[in-house]
Amino acid sequence: MPLHLHAFPVPTFSSQTAPLASTPLDRWALARIRSTVASARLRFLLWDGFESPSEAGTPVGTIVFKNRRALMGWVWDPDLNLGEAYMFGAVEFRGDLTAMLVEIYRALGRATPRSWWLWQRSNDVDAARENVHRHYDLGNDFYRLWLDREMAYTCAYFPAPGCALEDAQIAKMDRVCRKLALTPGERVVEAGCGWGSLALFMARHYGVTVRAVNVSHEQIAYARERANVEGLADRVEFVEDDYRNLQGRCDAFVSVGMLEHVGLADYSTLGAVIDRSLTASGRGLLHFIGRNRPSPLNPWIRRRIFPGAHPPTLPEVFEHVLEPWDLSVVDVENLRLHYAATLEHWQQRFDAAAGDVETMFDETFVRAWRLYLAGSEAAFITGSMQLFQVVFARGSSNAMPWTRSG
C-alpha cells in the first residue's frame, strides 16, 4: 500500500522500553503531565514502574510511558505526540481506550482554544483531491472489513440506542430523504457521495434522479459498479470530480460528511455552487462534524488521519455558506451521541478485523486507527465535537413541508 507508506513516513517514537531507571527529571515531567489532567481517573506510570500520585478516584485505566522520548514528547506537544507516541507503541493505554480518552478530554475541560489562523488555508482542487486520496483511497477492501453493508462512513441514526448498525445507517438515509421531502422525479445533487449508498438509496426508495460527485477514484469506481449491478445506472450518475465543478440544476442539494473537508476558506464557493444549482423551490441538507466554538482539529488527526479537515461551528457555516445567498435555515439536529454510538460499532468491527488490517498494513496502522476511532468517540461523548444535520431552503421559498416528519 504505497498510500500507507506515504502517510506514515518515519517513526519518530520507539516502542523500546528504556533500560535505565527513571531520573528526577523524568518524574518531574510525569507530574507535569499528570497536573494538566488532574481530575482524570487514570494511573500514569513510567517504564520502571514509578507512578505519579493522584487523588482523582478509582482509575479507569493506566497509561505507561515506555521511554523518555515518549514522556518528553507528550510534555512538549501533547495534542500531537499523544497520537504519535501511541501509534508507534511508545505509550501504552491499559484499559478501555475510549473511556480513558473521555477522562482526558473531560479533565482538559475548557482549555483555551489555540489560535487557528493556520487552518484557514484553502484546499484548492489539487489539495482537496490529495487529502481525500490519503484517507478514502486506503482501499475498498480495508473499509469493507469494518463498515456496514452499505459502506456508509458517516454518522448513523439509531431510532433506539440498541439498534443494529446496518439498520441505523438505513434509518439515517431515510431520515435525510424525509428531511428533504423528496418526491419522485426530482433531481438531486450529492456533493461528496462516498461509496454511493445514499445516492442509490434516494433513487431506489424516493424515485429521484441523482448526480453524485466525489474526487475519490476508488469510491466512484465502487459506486458505479453498484449502480450497474442494481440497475440504477440510468437514474444515478456518479461523477469523479470536485464539487466546485458541479453543473446543472437540482431540486435538492445534499452533502453528508463532506463539509469537514471543504475548509473555511472555500465555504463561500460551496455556497455559490449551491446557489447556482438550486431551483426556486430547492432545498438542501448539510450533514457535518462541527464544534460549539471555533477550534482546530487535533493536529495528530490532521497529520495522520484527515489532512486538510476543519470541523466548523454553525455560525461559520451559516455566515459563509448560507447567508450570502439568502438561504434560510429550516431545521437543525445535533446527533453527536449517535456518532458516538456509530463509532462504538465501528471499533468493535475494527477490533474483530484487526488481524486482517495488520496483514494489509502493519501494527502501527492498526494502532493509529484504533486511537482515531476511540478518540473520535470520546470527542462526541464529551461534547468536544458535534454532529449537525442542517436543512436549508431558499429564503423566498414556501415549498418546505408544513411540519417536520420526526
Do the beta carbons of residue 342 and residue 380 sit within 8 Å?
no
- Give whichever of 60 and 330 is closer to its own copies, judged by the CB atom: 330
Closest contact distance (angstroms) between CB of 161 and its own copies is 6
- Give whichever of 319 and 351 is closer to its own copies, judged by the CB atom: 319
- Give whichever of 66 and 172 is closer to its own copies, judged by the CB atom: 172
Stretch that binds its own copies, among 33-41, 223-231, 318-326, 371-379 (CB under 8 A): 318-326
Lay out the site mask for its own copies across 268-307 (x = CB under 8 A, - = otherwise): ------------------------xx--------------
Closest contact distance (angstroms) between CB of 168 and its own copies is 12
- Give whichever of 222 and 388 is closer to its own copies, judged by the CB atom: 388
Do the beta carbons of residue 41 and residue 22 sit within 8 Å?
no
Under rule CB under 8 A, residue 178 binds its own copies: no
Q: What ranges make up the beta strands (E) of 4-104?
A: 43-45, 61-65, 91-95
Q: Residues in contact with its own copies, total (CB under 8 A)?
A: 41
Under rule CB under 8 A, residue 238 binds its own copies: no
Contacting its own copies within 47-66 (CB under 8 A): none
- Cα separation, 218 vs 191, in Å, equals 16
Amino acid identity at 59: P
Instruction: Give the count of beta carbons closer than 10 Å to the beta carbon of residue 65.
Output: 27
- Give whichever of 130 and 323 is closer to its own copies, judged by the CB atom: 323
Under rule CB under 8 A, residue 110 binds its own copies: yes
- Cα separation, 398 vs 275, in Å, equals 17
- Give whichever of 269 and 313 is closer to its own copies, judged by the CB atom: 313
Member of 319, 351, 356, 363 binding its own copies (CB under 8 A): 319
String of DSSP letters for 168-234: HHHHHHHHHHHHHT--TT-EEEEES-TTSHHHHHHHHHH--EEEEEES-HHHHHHHHHHHHHTT-TT
Member of 3, 108, 265, 337 binding its own copies (CB under 8 A): 337
Member of 13, 44, 158, 288 binding its own copies (CB under 8 A): 158
Sequence-separated contacts (24+) of 54-63 with Cβ below 8 Å: 56/107, 59/95, 60/95, 60/96, 60/99, 60/100, 60/103, 61/93, 61/94, 61/95, 61/96, 61/97, 61/99, 61/100, 61/103, 62/92, 62/93, 62/94, 62/95, 63/91, 63/92, 63/93, 63/94, 63/100
- Give whichever of 316 and 351 is closer to its own copies, judged by the CB atom: 316
Positions touching its own copies (CB under 8 A) are 106, 110, 158-161, 292-293, 313-315, 318-319, 322-323, 326-334, 336-337, 381-383, 386, 388, 394-398, 400, 402-404, 406
